[in-house]
Structure 1
């Protein structure tokens, strides 16, 4: 179990959440805001999937075949509350549009997950920390 690497990634969450909260509260649809939102969503995806992968490897859970699978497996194992499953699954489904189809991304639009994740990401961090305390 690489707790240090999990902690390093979880420590990025407050900044990601604060950025999302600020973007949502002050959205004007500028290019700078659009690019900041893309990066914040991308960092949220990478954080959640990296942490999930470390947990899957460390606790020898079944192998994940996709980003959605990482969320499903960690959800089934009780890493986070079941009410987060839909939001986190929706988040990781954004990876392809953000990373591969970035040229189609609507930068002037505030993505609904930006608003939602401002609260969900800190709750995910806490849930993972509590899971590690329980299981180790």
Structure 2
């Protein structure tokens, strides 16, 4: 029997709503300002944290193999068919931004619109939908 913390997964899925709304607004109103850059930076960082938190809850709850990195979280849930290949590829690109955003933040190009900012809202919506479908399929 699995113990999947659906409440915590749902809380993070709900948080993704704000994240992809912020990313959409940044992309559509991009002006290269420090403010836009900082909003983009924080939204991408929160996207990474939400996705990897959800992945970790799924890994723990369904007793999947232990993850050794952020990339590995995505690889494990991809292997368990939580999401389709297209979303997994984009999420791998996203989690690779964690180090530049969190550790090398002083070098982050804040005056440039990052290419993932424009496509991530759709990816995150798809991820949230597919996680919900996976939970319903596995747990009812």
Band the TM-score falls in, shorter-chain normalisation = over 0.9
State the match for 1:124 in structure 2. 127
* 1:91 to 2:103 alignment: no
State the match for 2:5 in structure 1. 2
CA RMSD of superposed structures (Å): 0.6
Give CA-to-partner distance per residue, 1:91-113, whole Å, 9 cap, x none: 00100000000000000000000
Alignment of 1:1-136 (within 5 A): 1-136=4-139
**1-side partners of 2:16 and 2:99: how far apart?**
21
TM normalised by structure 1 equals 0.98
Runs (5+) with no aligned partner, structure 2: none
How far is 1:56 from its partner?
0.2
Give CA-to-partner distance per residue, 1:83-129, whole Å, 9 cap, x none: 11111001001000000000000000000000010111111100000
**2-side partners of 1:117 and 1:11: how far apart?**
16
State the secondary structure of the residue aligned to 1:11.
helix
Runs (5+) with no aligned partner, structure 1: none
Name the count of aligned residue pairs.
136
